[in-house]
A and B are shown apart, each in its own frame.
Chain A
Amino acid sequence: MKSAWPSPLVRNFLGCLLPVGRLLVVFVLLATPIGVVAQSLLAAEGLGLPVESLDARSRALGGVGLGLTGSYLLDRDPAAGAGLSIAAATATLQSSTTTLTAGGTVGYTRFPVLAISYPYRGSVFSVRMGSFLDQEWEGKSTQTLEVGGDDVGLEDVFTSTGSVGQVSLGWARTILESAAVGVTLGSYVGTMERVFTRALDPEDVGIDVQHFEAGGRLRASGVIVGAGMTWDPWPLLHVSNSISWSDDLSFSPTGKESGEKGSYRIPLELRGGGTVTLTSWLALHFGLTFADWSDTGADLKEGMTRGGTWSYGGGLEWSGITLLGRPIPIRLGARHRDLPFYSDGTPASERTLSGGIGLNLVDVGDQPLARIEMGIEQGNREAGAVSEDLLRMVVTVRISSG
């Protein structure tokens, strides 16, 4: 049934947005989770730096990606989209800079969450793409070696590029007036290229010297299954839980390349979160995740994983401001997360403070048709001698079409 727009103004506005929606679909089709990465030298440890596929609202509220009020497509909350009654697409753009221990600054722009949902006969089906592990880093070493009795200057460079993402299909359905369930089934995707290069100094050897290069490209695979439930036990409390189980994350050489295959156990991840409505314009959001990476440690070098890792945070959402009759929610939050891999034998963690606003451009009843969420997050990662300052800017655009 075709939706009835509340006014010609809204219809015209959405008419303008539809091309944007199409563009978003193109983005979704073109962008692969391979590009969904973050950047840190901690990506050199273990399997890389875990990257959370969070939207701008979750980031701004210090959340862990579930338990938000309203109908949303959240990568980590399979049941969150159950209330959507019209097709929607959402994309999150994340731009970040990280100031490394040595003082250098690195930056990137990525799409950490892309999702499309389509309601059909009371259920909501979705396609989601999210980030998982960042493996982009580079190590350099300059030294002098004795080669054939002469001192030869050389530079070793190890470059790791690529990342692991997740693509999944989701199903969600409201089972009670106050409860919904959802499941996802997906796979790891993405490639990782690890290349070692040794370059000798031509002044020490000769002009015709060439580089030594070793390495190759690995493709990630593995099945992921997720399940979740949302529940409103009281009108002022909304809670969500989800669980994510994963088959081994496998790396195998791509194409005709030969090389070693690797398989790593990925832990079960438990998530919980919710929102308490404190007043008509103020809400408290909180979230928590846990995963035990001990088994993964057995597949890696000894002493590389820290075991149980927690991620928690929370924030406040104030909806007391309106602009041209539209609410402009303002959010503040704080978050902590343990990183699963040690850095030089030291546990690593990330702490951030965040803020953001939302622009509810068009809503029809409780169905958001066009929204822009913005979040900014500042914090640091620390692990022994490693200390990185980070600043993230996240924008989520969501467009629905009846």
Chain B
Amino acid sequence: MSRSGGAYKTVGRDMQGQRSLRTRRRWVQILSVFLAASGCTDAVPTSDDGDLIPVDAVTVEVHLPFASFARDLRSFSGFGSPADVPVTVLAHQWEGELESRALMRFDSLPDWIAVRLPGSSSTSVHADSMYQPVSGKVILRLDTLGLGVESFELEAGAVLTPWDSETANWEVASDTVGAVSPSPWPEPGGGPVRSLTSATWSPVDGDSLVLDIDSLTVTEWAEDDRSDRGLRVRGLTKGTRLRVMGVDLRVLARSSINPDTLVEVTAELDRGTVIYSPSPETSLDVLQIGGAPADRTTFRMELPSSVDAGVEVCAKVHCPLELRADRILFASLVLHTHTTLSPGFAPASSIAVEVRPVLSPERLPRSPLSAPVNPGAVGLAPEFFSSETETLYEIPMTGYLRTLLQPDLGGGVAPSPTLTLLVRPEPSGLEVLSFYGVGTQLEPYLRLILTVSDGVPLP
């Protein structure tokens, strides 16, 4: 009984609660009427009933083979210089083939140092421009490019041949404008050099390696009018490669005013470059971009006026499908990664691919480029190019393609139909990115997602 009574009480409370809820709801409704009256605002009634939508739209995916949308596929080389790579790589018989060495030239030493006069108790200092370098040390900040090697032997040598950081390569020391002919190294690979020191670096010792430099060499490097000054560093451990993340020169100098005073001055890296051998292998079946100097691939978009969507799709929509900007919901250039032909040039870190319109195709390869059609491109992981399994890589270009078809979407200015593929930044290193080329089984294609409808009907 008590349980029944309790149940009745509960029901009574529920009914009261419902009445109260109804009353509250009514007041809320009345309040909202007044609020609406004060604001002249709307909230459109919305239904989740899809049957109310009077439009029949079909969304399909279409793949356009490269030949049906692109013309004039060309590769260009020579963009940027190895001197511009953000990180220098030292390699010695890496993957059995790659040899790369760093050439560095330091800033001149300071014009004067500040010293106190001998025996003076004053705190005032005097400028000493006649100071003499006593010794020096080059500090290299290094980083491994993988596990497995415990120590790396490096050799430092003073360059004896005039060289130009922008044009130097494995064979040539200088190829500046105005020169009759390129000036080759007496020994390919930046040689000969005057051997300075060699040292062994192990990652467990820290990230720096100190190379002692004698006073004669430091004095030579201090003469900023000498074009043969410079440091060459190479690896001596076979099958290894290292990244040089930074370098500077610290010189111990003796004051001419107060010979008992030794002062350490620092000279930072002025210019440097990396020279390497051999050059990466090429193939007509492979699209390669990147490297230093960098390669680019260029082609011109010639979109068809209509596309054949295939039997399955044409069963749903009228074929051939007229290719219109408003129908394109998504467009991407699809590439398949290819194992790097020269394994020594396989990417060591993620590298992004940009697609940018060529502003003056007639001035290729030196045409200025427009902003990328795929800003913020995500980098491609190095493993995509080291395994035999190809990876599909999509470069989205919906906005570009829509504007190409309907220029008023971009303010009435049609973008250039000529596109170039390049790495970002350029050059990003010695590494090249390889993709299956045109005519191969996994050639590039255009992936389009189109939506077609007969329009919005009248009521």
Instruction: List chain A positions with a Cβ less than 8 A from chain B.
Output: 39-41, 43-44, 46-48, 93, 95-100, 102, 104-109, 135-143, 145, 147-149, 152, 154, 156, 158-159, 161, 194-196, 198, 200, 205-216, 218, 251, 259-262, 264, 300, 344, 391-393, 395
Contacts and interface: CB of A to CB of B under 8 A. Distances in A.
Given A109-B36, A259-B455, A210 B329 contact: yes
A148 to B, nearest CB: 3
B47 interface: yes
Given A137-B52, A138-B44, A209-B330, 4 more contacts: A107-B32, A152-B449, A208-B399, A209-B449
Contacts of A39: 42-45
A141 B50 contact: yes
Contact of B47 (A41, A105, A261): A41
A393 B57 contact: no
Contacts of B45: 39-41, 43, 98, 100, 104, 106, 136-138
B329 A209 contact: yes
Contacts of B394: 206
27 contacts: A44-B47, A100-B45, A100-B47, A102-B48, A107-B36, A107-B41, A137-B47, A137-B52, A138-B47, A139-B49, A140-B50, A141-B48, A141-B53, A147-B449, A148-B449, A156-B57, A158-B54, A198-B59, A200-B330, A205-B330, A206-B396, A209-B330, A214-B57, A214-B455, A251-B459, A260-B458, A391-B30
Contacts of A152: 59, 449
Nearest to B331: A208
A47 B46 CA distance: 17
B33 A147 contact: no
B385 to A, nearest CB: 22
A249 to B, nearest CB: 10
Given A158-B55, A208-B398, A210-B330, A195 B456 contact: yes
Interface string B334-357: 000000000000000000000000
A148 B327 CA distance: 16
A161 B451 contact: no
B330 to A, nearest CB: 5
**List of 5 A-B pairs having minimum Cβ-Cβ separation, nearest first:** A148-B61, A141-B50, A208-B396, A95-B37, A262-B458
Contact of B459 (A99, A149, A262): A262
A147 B396 CA distance: 17
A393 B34 contact: yes
A140 B47 contact: yes
Contacts of A145: 59
Nearest to B29: A391
Contacts of A205: 329-330, 449
B328 interface: yes
A46 B33 CA distance: 28
Interface string B285-301: 00000000000000000
B332 interface: yes
A95 B36 contact: yes
Contact of A109 (B41, B55, B326, B396): B41
B46 A138 contact: yes
Contact of A214 (B30, B55, B59, B447): B55
Contacts of B328: 210
Nearest to A192: B459
Contacts of A137: 44-47, 52
**Which DSSP category, helix, strand, loop or mixed, fits chain A's interface?**
strand
B44 A159 contact: yes
B411 interface: no
A48 B457 CA distance: 14
A149 B45 CA distance: 35
A138 B53 CA distance: 9
B40 interface: yes
B374 interface: yes
Nearest to A47: B459
B42 A107 contact: yes
Nearest to B49: A139
B53 A139 contact: yes
Contacts of B459: 46-48, 135, 251, 262, 264, 300
B53 A158 contact: yes
Contacts of A216: 456
Contact of B398 (A96, A139, A209, A214): A209
A43 B402 CA distance: 35
B242 interface: no
Contacts of B457: 260
B18 to A, nearest CB: 16
A208 B41 contact: no
B373 to A, nearest CB: 9
A44 B50 CA distance: 12
A142 B46 CA distance: 13
A36 to B, nearest CB: 13
B60 interface: yes
A194 B455 CA distance: 10
B39 interface: yes
A229 to B, nearest CB: 34
B326 A214 contact: yes
Contact of B37 (A47, A109, A344): A109
A143 B43 contact: no
B451 A198 contact: yes
- The residue among B41, B48, B54, B451 with the most chain A CB atoms within 10 A of its own CB is B451
A97 B402 contact: no
- The residue among B29, B457, B458 with the most chain A CB atoms within 10 A of its own CB is B458
Contacts of A200: 59, 329-330, 449
A251 B458 contact: yes
Given A46-B459, A100-B45, A208-B374, A393 B29 contact: no
A215 to B, nearest CB: 4
Given A106-B43, A138-B46, A196-B456, A212 B329 contact: yes
A262 B455 CA distance: 14
B397 interface: yes
B453 interface: yes
Nearest to B52: A139
Interface in B279-328: 326-328
A208 B47 CA distance: 28
Contact of A196 (B30, B42, B51, B55): B55
Nearest to A388: B45
Interface in B1-53: 29-30, 32-37, 39-53
A43 B53 CA distance: 13
Contact of A206 (B46, B332, B458): B332
A139 B43 contact: no
Nearest to B374: A208
A97 B42 CA distance: 10
Interface string B396-425: 111100100000000000000000000000
A196 B50 CA distance: 12
Contacts of A208: 330-332, 374, 396-399
- The residue among A152, A209, A344 with the most chain B CB atoms within 10 A of its own CB is A209
